[in-house]
Structure 1
Amino acid sequence: MSTPTTTASATAEEPGARAKTLRGLLLARELDAARQKQGFTTRALAAGMSMSPAMLNRVMTGRRVPTALEIGGLCSLLDIHPARRHHLYRLTANADLTDWLLPTNAEENPIGQIEAIAETITWFASHLIPQPLRTTAYNNAITTAAHPTPTAASAQTTGISMFLLHPQTLHHPGVPTAVSREQLYHLRDTHPHKIRLLPTTIPPEPSFRVLDIDHFPPIVHIEHHNTTILMEHPTATATHTAFLHHAKAVSLTVDHTRELLASAGVSDLRSPG
């Protein structure tokens, strides 16, 4: 699967999608959270902005991007901290952009915000156990300059996730046998209903995950060489979402997955030595 580059063209509003772009959605969610925190009704805030309630509602749902003057007024009325305003101004200026390409450790990486509003997250892992499922020993064993320790996943994120694991994830040449065995038992016993092993016929494509947000197209998230890639437009995500749909359809059952992880047969899925 090839990864499209970041585009600067405005995306058409998809049927059923409320916000036009992910940046617009994140901007709207943060503004609306600030509105609620300050105790404003939509009507009262609209009056303070000399806007109609209907127009403000479109801003608060991401269907309309505020102008530079409007975002300044909203930040002032909602008492948004000056350090945070710069981020909102940038989201406003770039609201028509789709897809993201930025360093994983970027100060304004939006992954946490997107996870917080996702309804479900589906992981496809091809070579390493996904971070939320790792034991400490396993994570330490595979952590190198090439695979830096990621940010710990929240319980909420783990709770809404499903993990599709290619058999290749069950072994790694740098993981000691005892650590690998502990990791397999951990997979068997931790959130077993959320883990599915895939048949070996599924190609080990690079790992990715799909985040589903209510009233918005699926978001594809890829970590590649310390770079975060986010794709949101359906033309960019179609290959990944189709691949994931097929993988889910042919994945092993929960019981079969647990049996393989619990039995000596797991060793058949591991590389010799």
Structure 2
Amino acid sequence: MVSYNNNNSLRRQDILALCNLRQDGRKKDEIRRLHCNLRPLHTGTNSCHGGSCLFEMGLTRVLVSVSGPTECARRSDESVDKANLTVKVSQSPFATSSTRQQTSATSKRMLEMSNDIKTAFQAAVLLQLYPRAAIFVNVHILADDGGVLECAINAVTLALVGSGIALKDLVCACSAGTLNEMVLLDLNRVEEMDGSGSACKMSVATMPQRSSVVLTKLSSRFTIKELEVVLKRAQVGCRSVYDVMAQVIRDHHATLVAARMGNVHVKVNI
């Protein structure tokens, strides 16, 4: 029975290789399946965050809640000409297949991700519209199957939109990289952690309507030629993510308008 399963596994890999497909069945220029759930998030005190979003890229899942603009807890945090943006990232113990407990390396990774997200959105949020105010962004990683930074950035964008925070443009993120001399779009965890050591990844966040890049992050070195190709491929992926996110926002807006006019029908299964 064991040898039978192994033979099936090898046969599947051979078929995928012959069809020029990746291990999860995607073409090299395809992003993973996206799913977005945009809605208010209530807390135990019956209060409501400004907005929240559950965003899925393949098997990677991130939950983001946004509260604000609100008063700063301390006067020292206030800025007379813009809002103070705070980003906090946490991860569930079951987010990865690893059984190790959270270590200092994990904490450092969460802090680094917080800074990356803050850098991306300081370029996109119109902070000057909210002087002396504070905006809090809480990012919680539920499952990490690769591309968790990109998934988090996309989730933050939709959560900010849901909370009514003004943005210059939607911030959309996607990764691209090289593996075995092939340029791949939206790498998953298996591809990121490739044992051959040939995987090189670039995470990119853009504002597609402005054709501007707000964040790039490299996992390893690229040649100039590789860098140009990978960056262009990642920007194409960001545009694909933008198309999905824009449709989600339109659908969410239509639902809110219908609810305001009393045209929403709720089905109750008993």
The structure that is helix-richer by fraction is 1
Name the TM-score class by shorter chain.
under 0.3
The structure that is strand-richer by fraction is 2
Tell me the TM-score normalised to structure 1 length: 0.25
Larger radius of gyration: 1
Q: Which structure's relative contact order is higher, taking Cα pairs within 8 Å and 6+ residues apart?
A: 1
